[in-house]
Chains A and B, each alone.
Chain A
Amino acid sequence: MPLLEVSDLRTHFHTRGGVVRAVDGVSFSVGQGETLGIVGESGSGKSVTCLSLMGLVPQPPGVVVAERAVFDGTDLLRSPPATVRALRGKRIAMIFQDPMTSLNPYLRVGEQLIEPLLIHEKISRRDALARGRTLLEEVGIADAARRLSSYPHEFSGGMRQRVMIAMALITRPDLLIADEPTTALDVTVQAQILDLLRRFQRERGMAVIFITHDLGVVAGLCDRVQVMYAGRIVESADTRTLFREPRHPYTRALQRSIPALQAKGVELATIPGMPPDLAHLPSGCAFAPRCEFATERCRIGEAPNLKETNPNHLTACLRVQAGEI
């Protein structure tokens, strides 16, 4: 049984400009100890998917519904708030892109670090601080004992992200949701943080959902990847397969537009146009207006559903499903 199972998650925002369908029918699961990458460009719904599951979408204007969103037997959207609160921050933890805005600038790092422990476990402050210190050392912060009484502004960006990771891991969660945790960091620091996450994931057998726009980061970290476009998952496969044989036209175009994979001087493939306005989605497949393979059939009716097009490889494209491309 998977650790987290989500089916038909929809997060809509009711605004004056219409209903914004940020997440529009997303189903996926994450197994114990598995690392799942969610890839997409800005506005694809990758962050909102996870925020919805964590109950961090303000309602209203948001409306979050799902057929199921079950974490280890508990439905995250239907259970009483107290039950969900007991899971969140303990068994499910989350780290964000910008560690400066997610740390309280007025509180010493040590206080923030042990807060989840004090809330979720019966533990004395002293023991909690001792655990905090050990963990700071484990995430690679030198002189941890002294650093516990530092304030966030005394840390560099990379160090702050290490503190965030320590804070997320202090309750030994079963699932870590990492939302673009390295995007704001320098390349060499990004490499350090990715290495750290990889090591913790392996040592603790923790499941990780890694949200990113960077296919390169996914390649080095994730077991499985799903690609999102306009609020829906358009392709899902294990990492090697997705990179070797991408099926969905969007994934294929995305891959061909990465400079690292193309020889110098070669014109990079581009995707014409722009992602659609989520308040006014086109009928049929949302990618059809930009797709080189789209036919009339792609532009009518409901958006195509994810279907198995190869063993364990799901694609939401009518033409791939029909074996035409």
Chain B
Amino acid sequence: MDTPAAPLLQLTDVKAHFPVSRGFVFRKEVGTVKAVDGVSLTLGRGEVLGLVGESGCGKSTLARTIMQLVPATAGTVVLAGRNLATADRAELRRARRTMQMVFQDPFASLNPRLPVGDAIAEPLLVHGLATRAQAPGRVTELMERVGLAAALRHKYPHEFSGGQRQRVAIARALALNPQVLIADEPVSALDVSIQAQILNLLARLVREAQLSLLFIAHDLSVVKHLSDRVAVMYLGRIVELGPATEVIEHPRHPYTQALVSAIPIPDPALAATRPRLLLPGDPPSPRDPPAGCAFHPRCQYATAACRATVPPLERLADGHEAACIRIGEIRVGG
């Protein structure tokens, strides 16, 4: 899914490290949490990139770093040719117009005291894209676009269901006509039948508006349904990257293989026959990551060499990129 032109969003070796300090009076730094530790990714125009990983792998921090809500410790985030790290305030403001974010919990991200119509109009007014007189018309348009009746504009967030609130959050993100939408676990808090409605909505928006979507989730089946490409993250680094169907049907990295085999399949016949790869232990803490490949303590293929070097992400013959030094010796599974 390579775009011939320069990608809309390009991350190069992005790092987000946080100091860990201890003590109240005599504070001192005792370590660093490497939440994001050298991530390079691209997002093309109209492309959907799925980013998967378990809790604590740094996927949400990466999203916040891209949005410049968390400063990158190193590396660059380039949006439509503009390096956001060196951008001044006015440039950053323009960049934020191009790039919007939807969060997991729409209840926490919407102001409970603001009628939803006002919440959707707010970004328009802040960025001077509509006058007070024009705003209601735009709000109607946006609400209809996300499948909400415009008559609901005077209601407050608590009067909505989870799915409807997520629609409001999406409408609000779309108000500025962004080119990039970053959705951080937008359906994880929703019931299955409602989840499907939101996934359909996102797919439609991408199609209609040529929107680029960075879709963050822990559920691979949801990601597969929506994404062109998938990036798998483990402890701050990308361990596998490739076309969505490819990565999920023929995962190469041992972690991706285990992740895929852990998805509960809603088909009893298949669930009974497919091989199960059980990983030992829990994901390690990013505060105290294992040396070398962060996955080695849970990896059945790990050797002494894995404990010594951090494997780089390398392109394989089948178009995947994987960060594993033993990849050539590992059976293609999935």
Contact = CB atoms under 8 A, between A and B. Distances in A.
A214 interface: yes
B322 to A, nearest CB: 18
Contact of A268 (B225, B244, B261): B225
Contacts of A190: 262, 264
Contacts of B29: none
Interface residues of B, number: 43
B189 to A, nearest CB: 10
B191 interface: yes
A261 interface: yes
A271 B218 CA distance: 24
| Chief secondary structure at chain B's binding surface | helix
Nearest to A240: B268
A42 interface: yes
A262 interface: yes
Nearest to B193: A271
B221 A260 contact: yes
Interface in B243-298: 244-245, 258-259, 261-272, 276, 278-279, 282-283
B67 interface: no
A186 B263 contact: no
Contact of B258 (A188, A213, A239): A188
Contacts of B245: 264
B266 A259 contact: no
B54 A219 contact: no
A260 B196 CA distance: 11
Interface stretch (A22-30, A92-100, A173-181, A249-257): A249-257
B200 interface: yes
Contacts of B267: 219, 243, 261
A220 interface: yes
Interface string A161-192: 00000000000000000000000001111111
Contacts, number: 122
Contacts of B54: 186-189
B192 A213 contact: yes
B74 interface: no
Contacts of A214: 264
Contacts of B193: 41, 253-254, 257, 270-271
B192 A274 contact: no
A240 B269 contact: yes
B117 interface: no
A239 B266 CA distance: 10
Contacts of B262: 187-188, 190-191
A269 B268 contact: no
Given A215-B192, A219-B267, A259-B225, 9 more contacts: A187-B54, A188-B283, A220-B268, A257-B193, A259-B222, A264-B224, A268-B199, A270-B196, A270-B197
8 contacts: A186-B283, A190-B264, A192-B279, A215-B192, A215-B266, A240-B269, A260-B224, A270-B193
Interface of B: 54-55, 161, 163, 191-197, 199-200, 203, 218-222, 224-226, 244-245, 258-259, 261-272, 276, 278-279, 282-283
